[in-house]
Every structure is written in structure tokens, then in C-alpha cells.
Amino acid sequence: MSSKRAKGKTTKKRPQRATSNVFAMFDQSQIQEFKEAFNMIDQNRDGFIDKEDLHDMLASLGKNPSDDYLEGMMSEAPGPINFTMFLTMFGERLNGTDPEDVIRNAFACFDEEGS
């Protein structure tokens, strides 16, 4: 009887998670820097970045963001922004960019004064 059940059983495919391997994209020091940035933005320390957190962070930088601007920023995330989602969003933005030393060397080629 169990063999009939096994044959007739249909398996549902789970949707692939966008965040499945985000921690492998960065080294430990980068993850730590992202964690520090996340904690600075998460003003109310609830583990999620919300519109109020963004407003408070931008206000601390001397900006006065409109509600539309904040809504636009929040709409870039498919759901609540916890640390994993934060890291995923940066991973998607940084995917395909050159490493920092390559970018610095490229700028150095154009820096005739060496500044």
C-alpha cells in the first residue's frame, strides 16, 4: 500500500529563494560592514528597516526626504527588509561590479597628480 502511495504522490516544487546563497557572495569582513550599516539604519532596533528608519537615517545626514521618496526606496524590496534581505539587495546591486582594487587602479590611471 505504501508503494502505491509513493507512486501516486506528486511533489510540489518549491520556488527558488532569491536569498539562498547571499552569504557566499561576500567575505566575512564585508558581511560585518553590511551588518554595521544595517544596524545604523535600523534606528528602532527591531531587526527590520522600515520607512521611519530610512527617514531618521536620512534626517541624521541633513536630508529631508519626502514620503514619495521613502516609499520609492521601500518599494525596491519585495517584502520586509531584515538583514538577509538587505544583504540580498546589495548583492544584486553589486553583482558584476569590479573589485575595489580594480576600480582604484582604473582611477589611478587618470590621476596625473597622484591624489
Confidence (pLDDT) at 50:
97
User: What is the fold, at CATH topology level, of the domain defined by 27-95?
Assistant: Recoverin; domain 1 (1.10.238)
Ranges of each domain in the chain: 27-95
Confidence (pLDDT) at 64:
96
Q: For cell 509513493, name the residue.
A: 6
Q: What is the mean pLDDT of each run of 10 residues along the chain (115 residues)?
A: 51 48 87 96 96 95 96 93 93 74 80 78
